[in-house]
């Protein structure tokens, strides 16, 4: 089978005749058809993730076809796979939080992923997806599961005012999800083309934090009350600091970045406004909700698709992102 392995930072090797994976008990063999490139993959490709051991087959946002019958799955079923790898027996797993497993891993990050023809995955992480979707569209179910997790964690209420920092594919997915829950949503970014995309996807306001006064925009957007729901989809301590300031009484701040730099967060603000600040990691069984979004055409994955490359050209796909990160949203590899 074909496979693409990251062998050194910024160097992916295409292997035309890699050995096929063997399935263990309870594992479904999936023939991969489309795999999205995530920001995480780009960090790994650049050599910025010390927890990733090379060589590594990356790729965790994928769709494909069941290769051999197993349990409720039949050969040819169109499926997507939740990439959270969990043990199933630790305290967090037993409590129902596989994404907080004591040995949690992600396919394509700490273990081999989907940039190859065949992958063996646990049956319970496999989901059939609506027939109306293409393989490329279905590969975007996983990034929307990150958005779904953020929204679930922050407990949105219809009519509330939200602000999403960052209009990349995840930020735009969060925007779409929050609109589905009935919130008014403002989006902030530094790139005008991304803000235009946010408007196209229903943002009530889209503000360029470089050229506009964001604090003033928030004031008028919330009639001086503050923001009920704030998401940092960028991962910056500065954003966390301004989020705490701009939050409304009872507000929630949800973060999903991996920035180790401490933020200066005054306890006084947290207490006076009874704020909730929470992290989110990957997704905790959010695929069913996202499948409903996709099946009902409630979200618009096509709007975030920038380009499609075949597996043989995967190195060029990563270079495309590296050369023009601002104007590139989602790139998908097809097999």
Residues that bind Zn ion (CB under 5 A): 38, 40, 86-87, 90, 93, 101
Nearest to Zn ion of 163, 282 (CB atom): 282
Q: How far is the CB of 89 from Zn ion (least distance, A)?
A: 6
Residue 75 and residue 153 in contact, taking contact as beta carbons nearer than 8 Å: no
Residue 128's alpha-carbon distances to 123, 133, 147, 151, in angstroms, are: 11, 11, 20, 23
Paired residues of 189 in beta bridges: 208
Q: How far is the CB of 102 from Zn ion (least distance, A)?
A: 5
Q: How far is the CB of 208 from Zn ion (least distance, A)?
A: 26
Q: Return the structure tokens found at 232.
A: 């940092």
Q: How far is the CB of 216 from Zn ion (least distance, A)?
A: 34
Nearest to Zn ion of 44, 183 (CB atom): 44
Burial 45-79 (b: 16+ CB within 10 A, else e): beeebeebeeebbbbbbbbbebbeebeebeeebbb
Contacts of 223 (CB under 8 A, 6+ apart): none
Give the Cα separation of 156 and 159 in Å (integer): 9
Nearest to Zn ion of 83, 251 (CB atom): 83
Nearest to Zn ion of 171, 226 (CB atom): 171
Give the Cα separation of 57 and 106 in Å (integer): 12
Q: How far is the CB of 35 from Zn ion (least distance, A)?
A: 11
3-state secondary structure of 161: strand
Nearest to Zn ion of 40, 139 (CB atom): 40
Nearest to Zn ion of 86, 148 (CB atom): 86
Smallest CA-to-CA distance from 331 within 125, 69, 61 is with: 61
């Amino acid at each position: 089978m074909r496979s693409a392995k990251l062998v050194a930072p910024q160097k992916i090797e295409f292997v035309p005749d890699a050995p096929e994976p063997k399935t263990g008990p309870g594992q479904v063999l999936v023939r991969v058809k489309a795999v999205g490139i995530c920001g995480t993959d780009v960090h790994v490709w650049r050599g910025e993730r010390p927890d990733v051991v090379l060589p590594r087959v990356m790729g965790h946002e994928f769709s494909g076809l069941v290769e051999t019958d197993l349990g409720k799955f039949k050969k040819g079923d169109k499926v997507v796979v939740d990439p959270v790898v969990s043990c199933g027996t630790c305290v967090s797993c037993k409590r129902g939080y596989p994404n907080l497993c004591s040995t949690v891993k992600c396919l394509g990050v700490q273990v081999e992923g989907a940039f190859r023809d065949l992958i063996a995955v646990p049956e319970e992480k496999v989901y059939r997806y609506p027939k109306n979707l293409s393989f490329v569209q279905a590969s975007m179910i996983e990034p929307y599961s990150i958005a779904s997790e953020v929204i679930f964690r922050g407990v949105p209420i219809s009519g509330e005012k939200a602000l999403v920092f960052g209009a990349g594919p995840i930020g735009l997915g969060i925007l779409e999800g929050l609109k589905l829950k009935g919130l008014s949503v403002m989006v902030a970014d530094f790139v005008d083309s991304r803000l235009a995309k946010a408007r196209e996807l229903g943002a009530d306001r889209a503000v360029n934090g470089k050229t506009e006064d964001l604090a003033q925009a928030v004031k008028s957007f919330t009639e001086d009350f503050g923001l009920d729901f704030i998401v940092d989809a960028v991962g910056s301590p500065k954003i966390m600091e301004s989020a705490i300031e701009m939050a409304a009484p009872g507000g929630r701040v949800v973060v999903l970045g991996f920035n180790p730099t401490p933020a200066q967060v005054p306890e006084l603000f947290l207490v006076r406004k009874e704020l909730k600040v929470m992290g989110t990691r990957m997704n905790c069984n959010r695929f069913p909700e996202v499948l409903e979004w996709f099946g009902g055409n409630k979200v618009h994955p096509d709007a975030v698709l920038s380009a499609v490359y075949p597996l043989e050209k995967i190195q060029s796909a990563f270079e495309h992102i590296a050369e023009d990160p601002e104007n590139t949203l989602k790139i998908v590899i097809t097999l």
